[in-house]
């Protein structure tokens, strides 16, 4: 399924991956131009990846056409102190 045919509400809470098997966690939200994913529980990495970088959505996984290295440009890190 190409990114043009994706029902964006269906990708929430689904796994997010990159082209080098990079793990971007789970999709948290879909906004106008970005997909927000989160990886981790206490130390959270959030990614704000542009929708135009979605390659496909199949078998419950959103695939992005970027590598782990390229995804660093879209990452924010949060730490929850207990």
pLDDT at 78: 67
pTM of the model: 0.86
Please identify which residue in the block is written with the tokens 């102190």.
81
pLDDT at 5: 82
Mean pLDDT by runs of 10 across the 82 residues of the chain is 77 95 95 94 91 95 95 82 54
CA triplet 53, 42, 17: central angle to 5 degrees? Answer: 20
What is the CATH class of 3-79?
A: mainly beta
């Amino acid at each position: 399924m190409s990114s043009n045919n994706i029902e964006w509400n269906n990708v929430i809470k689904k796994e997010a991956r990159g082209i080098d098997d990079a793990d971007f966690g789970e999709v948290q939200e879909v906004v106008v131009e970005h997909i927000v994913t989160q990886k981790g529980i206490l130390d959270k990495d959030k990614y704000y990846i542009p929708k135009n970088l979605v390659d496909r959505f199949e078998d419950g996984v959103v695939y992005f056409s970027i590598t782990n290295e390229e995804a660093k440009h879209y990452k924010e890190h949060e730490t929850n102190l207990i």
